[in-house]
Every structure is written in structure tokens, then in C-alpha cells.
Amino acid sequence: MKDFNALEWCDATLLAINIDRRNPGVCDEVKVHVRWPDGRESIVCFPEAYGCSALMNFGVLGEEGIEFARVDDDEPGLADLLDRWKAVGYPLSGLKCFRIETTSTGSVILIYARTWRIEHLPMAGAVP
């Protein structure tokens, strides 16, 4: 799948978010663990991440349903991030804002990255 916007985001469930900074500046990566409406689970990886903003609300007894996710080229934070990098002499090209919004808590997650990929996880109870 090459189109982030075409994934089955509506009615998917956000299970976890991981920010990997073990190799800072060389490999900053954000991983979003998702259960799709058909029950499959995947990790949506953003291996060339330059920023992440998560305005999340907790305390709701229920799963974190995803309302939608899309590439958002008009997100003001994207322009701000590009300007900051340009100001220090490192203009970034190809950077996108990946926006995820949830229904359960009204949370908004913004991931600023160049690329993304999916790692499919085995189904529970599947025979290898």
C-alpha cells in the first residue's frame, strides 16, 4: 500500500505509540500500533521522523478508536518545522505531516516524517 490516506483508518483502533530515539539524529522513528477493522494488527512506521506532537486525552474507559488519518500538507506545524530547519542551514525536502485523530477522546497526533511503511503482525492464533 503506497497511499497513507487510503488505509482503513475509520474504525481502526490505536493500541500504542512508540518513539525510538536510540540512535538520535540518525534514525528517529515513530511507530503507531493499529488494529484494523478486520482484526489484523500492524505497526505503521515513520522511520525518517523529524517531529511528533500528541495532544491526547486519557481516562476514558474504552478503546482509542481512530476517526481518520491523512497526510495534512496544510498543517501549520509543518511550515513551522520546515522554517526552523531552514534557519539552521538544513532545508528539509519531502517532509509531510501525518495526522491521526481519534473518536474516543478527541486526541490529535501529528507525525512529521519523510516516509512511512507498514509492518504487518501475525494474527492471534495463526499457525506459522
Q: What is the pLDDT of residues 97-110, one digit of tens each?
A: 999 999 988 999 99
Measured CA to CA in angstroms, residue 91 lies from 36, 55, 96 at distances of 36, 27, 14
Average pLDDT (2-26) is: 92
15-40 residue pLDDT tens: 999 999 888 777 899 999 999 999 99
Q: Is residue 128's pLDDT more than 60?
A: no
Please state, in angstroms and rounded to a whole number, the distance separating the CA atoms of residues 22 and 106: 30
Number of alpha helices (DSSP H) and beta strands (DSSP E) in the chain: 1, 8
